Chains A and B, each alone.
Chain A
Amino acid sequence: MGLFKRLYDWIDLRIGAREIVKKELTGYLLPKNINEWYSLGSVLLVIFTLQVLTGMLLMVYYVPDSEKAFKSVTFIMNDLPYGWLIRLCHAVGSNMMVAVLLMHMLSTLMMKSYKSPRELNWVTGFILFTLVQGISLTGYLLPWSQLSFWATTVATNSAAAIPVAGPYLVEFLRGGKLVGPPTLGRFFAMHVAVIPVVIAATIGAHLFLLKRTGISTPPFGAQEETGHPWPAESYRYEEHPGGIPFFPNYALQDLTSISVYFAVFLAVVFYAPNLLFTPDAFVPANPFQTPAHIKPEWYFLANYQTLKIFPSELLGLSVQGAAMTFLALLPFIDRTPERNPLKRPLFLVFFLGGFLLWIGLTIWGHYS
């Protein structure tokens, strides 16, 4: 212990480490009524880190060539020591990321943390949501299985419904008229280089905004009234005097949530690895044979079913576009200061209705 203290003192003399610890850790006070949902952000950070690490490891052996991609993934799964573990962590992790992201978004919506002065936090969060969908879509193609190939064909085809520029946009996305080797090249570049960097930068912005504005107070069990409008006079950091220190108290909650996440995540990796794989995921891509019952991943099923419902693909896309735009601009549309959802029945109806609609469409999409 003496050595650690000496090292800490040495660093403290040079960068004022004790002051940083006091400001960012032990002296960083959170609202007394903070709940577990607030720890989902750190769970997402851990998931993203794991995705980057496992992704880098996969890149050592994966070959982004249409002739070799499927074989390289099979090699990783069957021949390489613990290759199956790395690959499954990456595949399962990507699904978990979307699931936890949706939970994070739903809890933010429910507790109205998107309201003033946190509009930018919501917007950066929404951008992250879109980027995660993009990285999932591009990553899906890389194993070059029948499932990868045809799910990408279906997904990129939907852009054709956009008037005028649609067909060209599809060709541009694919790098050709049909999904093929050029598609693999550009999707690989997007998946391993472009999108991760943009996600990292956007996370930086998201965290900066969070720290600069201050943590919101949950509207449940709050000491004071929850309906006060934010006085938009000048910038003010939202303090929580007498609150809970982030370290070690809420850091422990973060650690607990991360542990719970790992329990669920590793249970799937070790005990249900084929949960998210269909038989088509084990057959190399055949550009001349579309298998029956090709479906997108679970998080795109609602979009898929919506497109099936509307007679015109353009209408289906427009409805989804409108819904996403509404969600993205929510802090600018919903301006009432009241944050307690039990005092906002209209919001609650929309929230629950929207959530159930999404669940319903997803289940319908699975069985249709």
Chain B
Amino acid sequence: MENDGRRKFLGVCLAGATVAAAGAAAYPVFRYLAPRADALGSKKLEFASSELPEGEAKFFEYAGSSAVLVKTSAGAVIALSAVCTHLGCIVQWEKDKQDFLCPCHAGRYSPEGVVLSGPPPRPLAKIPCSVANGKITVG
């Protein structure tokens, strides 16, 4: 047919316009539903040194995830991610044993986050922290 070229061209234009409209509708919905980049990630947290006695651990939220501050018997303050590197459960601090135990599959970590036993493949992630003027600053 003579008008076939014109018809095909219009068909392509219509298809293109439909795709563009669908994209224009889908993009805001995607942005609306997507998890937001947490502003907490860049924020620093402060704790009083007195909040953390020796040999004890304090759990808190950092960068949208669970974290832990531990003061070893030697007096060092370490900040670690409390998420077990095996399958994501939150580790517990065992005061009598002075280590971290994951309740899910019995993975064990030293106070520095090093894997002592069990299935975890990697040590607990370290979080930067410093102590000054009786304050512990994380982040």
Contact = CB atoms under 8 A, between A and B. Distances in A.
A76 to B, nearest CB: 9
B35 to A, nearest CB: 11
Q: By CB atoms of chain B within 10 A, which of A57, A80, A82, A85 has the most? A: A82
20 contacts: A57-B29, A57-B32, A57-B33, A60-B33, A80-B32, A81-B28, A81-B31, A81-B32, A81-B34, A81-B36, A82-B28, A82-B29, A82-B31, A82-B32, A83-B32, A85-B28, A85-B32, A86-B28, A86-B29, A86-B32
Contacts of A80: 32
A80 to B, nearest CB: 6
Contacts of B36: 81
Contacts, number: 20
A86 B30 CA distance: 12
Interface in A76-102: 80-83, 85-86
A60 B36 CA distance: 14
Interface in A34-60: 57, 60
Contacts of A85: 28, 32
Interface string B27-50: 011011110100000000000000
Contacts of A60: 33
Contacts of B28: 81-82, 85-86
Interface residues of B, number: 7
The majority secondary structure among interface residues of chain B is helix
Contacts of B31: 81-82
List 5 tightest A-B contacts by C-beta distance, closest first: A82-B28, A81-B31, A82-B32, A82-B31, A85-B28
A60 B33 CA distance: 8
A269 to B, nearest CB: 12
Given A60-B33, A82-B29, A86-B29, 17 more contacts: A57-B29, A57-B32, A57-B33, A80-B32, A81-B28, A81-B31, A81-B32, A81-B34, A81-B36, A82-B28, A82-B31, A82-B32, A83-B32, A85-B28, A85-B32, A86-B28, A86-B32
Interface of B: 28-29, 31-34, 36
A151 to B, nearest CB: 28
A10 to B, nearest CB: 22
Contacts of B34: 81
A97 B87 CA distance: 49
B4 to A, nearest CB: 13
Contacts of B29: 57, 82, 86
Nearest to B31: A81
A85 B30 CA distance: 13
Nearest to A79: B36
A60 B32 CA distance: 10
A82 B27 CA distance: 9
A83 B29 CA distance: 9
Contacts of B32: 57, 80-83, 85-86
Nearest to A53: B29
B69 to A, nearest CB: 30
Nearest to A85: B28
Nearest to B21: A262
A130 B33 CA distance: 33
Contacts of A81: 28, 31-32, 34, 36
A81 B28 CA distance: 7
